[in-house]
Amino acid sequence: MQHFQRLQQVAGFLTAALECSVYVSPMKPGLTYDELVEFGRLVGIQPGEIGDAMQQVSKTYFGVPMILPDPTKIIGWVAPHIIEEPDFRNFTAFDFWHAAMSESAKANGAALARLDREVVIERAAARGIPRHDMEVALGIDILCANVIDKDGVIVPARGKLAWPSISEQRKGGGVFGAPRRNENRARAFPLVKDIIQRRTDGRPRYAEPLDAFTDGLDGLGYGHFKVWWAQMVSQLRQTDPETTPVAVLVLAAALVEGCLTFVVKHGRGLGVGVFGSKDFDEDPRRWKIETLVNGAAAGQKDAILDNRDKQRVETLVASRQRIHAGRMLSEFPGGVPDLRPEEAREAKAIADMLVRRVLDWLELHSAAK
């Protein structure tokens, strides 16, 4: 009996740790086995006890890099009318996702209901709902198999579209009793947060530069363009180089042009020669992408782009001009060459590289702003 009680206690702690990983890192939830062992060390659980309890904690853990929580083991996820404290969820965020999906279903039909993840998150942020809270709500809905994330496109799982929102469930079922303290969750959260934060030690500065630049717009004074940027990034990711290479090329060039446009003011304010051309004294609508690229390569040691990177971006700019029929008629009177899928894939890579260079440059020059 004593061993059984200890096993239940260990399972409760491990479940709380995996649950808290969603609240800390909702888009990359879960813990590795080594991280669970470290968590156990901090709370007095031995590695052997962890192995014995794992069957009660996670549906799958052998041979997988990240151990995910089993939603059926987390009472607040399956029974939202039961209140436990502390609660790291924002129910307004859950309702926002639910309302957005419902509107998509009304407009397109249940079978075609879908949402652009980043666009919805930025719209929620514009209404005062923190981005992290939106990611937590989405992460939980994914783990509970209510929705599916297909490379940034959120679609409802089969049979889940008609489910009521969390607020409706709590209102209809009533709040069950007084809030109760979840000591395992309260103790686990700061420990798991510290463990996850340590993952970044020595790692590359930016894993996904196109996403990171969304947040960078705030510091540049263009936070109100976040939805625009998120939509462009989302569209680029959904566009297939094999079937629509021209669309990929155009979207990649638009992101390059947009990223450089948003950093012109900052670069000129530094007084280091980047974007120092008088062309940028004119209205932004008159700025040409070729001038933006030249401006980003100016400033010598303070330049955003070195000569090699500049040449890569210039190949993208030149290819993008195929959208101008008059220019193609002039440059290729015998007919413009076909655009190959590998050129479209390279366009995506160039956009990613350019934004990464801008982010690195902004970090180096933030103190001089």
pLDDT tens digits for 84-142? 999 999 999 999 999 999 999 999 988 899 999 999 999 999 999 999 999 999 999 99
Backbone angles phi, psi at 109, to 5 degrees: 95, 150
Report which residue type is found at 193.
K
User: 207 or 254: which carries more pLDDT confidence?
Assistant: 254
Residue 269 pLDDT more than 90? yes
Report which residue type is found at 262.
F
DSSP-derived secondary structure letter, 63: T
Cβ count within 10 A of residue 127: 8
Instruction: Report if residue 91 sits inside a domain.
Output: no
- Please state, rounded to an integer, the average pLDDT across all residues of the chain: 88
Q: What residues contact residue 17 under an 8 Å CB cut-off, 6+ apart?
A: 31, 36, 39, 188, 191, 192
Instruction: Indicate the pLDDT class of residue 369, thresholds 50, 70 and 90.
Output: very low
Percent of the residues in the chain that have a pLDDT greater than 70, as a whole number = 92
Instruction: Report if residue 241 sits inside a domain.
Output: yes
Instruction: Report if residue 202 sits inside a domain.
Output: no
Q: What residues contact residue 114 under an 8 Å CB cut-off, 6+ apart?
A: 104, 108, 153, 154, 155
**Over residues 172-194, mean pLDDT:** 82
Q: What residues contact residue 341 under an 8 Å CB cut-off, 6+ apart?
A: 241, 242, 245
d(CA 39, CA 13): 9
Backbone angles phi, psi at 148, to 5 degrees: -130, 135
d(CA 280, CA 275): 7
Span 19-49, pLDDT tens digits: 999 999 999 999 998 899 889 988 989 888 9
Classified as helix, coil or strand, 140 is helix
d(CA 132, CA 241): 31
**Over residues 165-187, mean pLDDT:** 77
Residue 367 has a pLDDT of: 38
**Over residues 360-367, mean pLDDT:** 81
How far CA 127 is from CA of 86, 121, 195, in Å, comes to 25, 10, 32
Span 281-298, pLDDT tens digits: 999 999 999 999 999 999
Residue 92 has a pLDDT of: 95
d(CA 288, CA 123): 30
- Tokens 């979840």 -> residue: 182
Domain region containing 358 = 209-364
d(CA 295, CA 110): 48
Residue 203 pLDDT more than 70? no
Instruction: Report if residue 327 sits inside a domain.
Output: yes
Residue 24 has a pLDDT of: 97
Instruction: Report if residue 40 sits inside a domain.
Output: no
Instruction: Report if residue 159 sits inside a domain.
Output: no
Residue among 254, 216, 218, 260 at smallest CA distance from 236: 254
DSSP-derived secondary structure letter, 66: S
Instruction: Indicate the pLDDT class of residue 174, thresholds 50, 70 and 90.
Output: low
- CB environment 140-163: b (16+ within 10 A), e (fewer): bbbbeebbeeeebebbbeeeebee
**Over residues 153-180, mean pLDDT:** 74
User: 260 or 65: which carries more pLDDT confidence?
Assistant: 260
Residue 194 pLDDT more than 80? yes
- Whether residue 86 is preceded by a cis peptide bond, meaning omega within 30 degrees of 0, is yes
User: Which tokens is 295 given?
Assistant: 């401006």
Instruction: Report if residue 278 sits inside a domain.
Output: yes
Instruction: Indicate the pLDDT class of residue 63, thresholds 50, 70 and 90.
Output: low
The total number of structural domains in the chain stands at 1
What is the value of pTM for the model shown?
A: 0.72
List the beta bridge partners of residue 147: 156
Instruction: Report if residue 261 sits inside a domain.
Output: yes
Dihedral of CA 131/137/142/147: which sign? negative
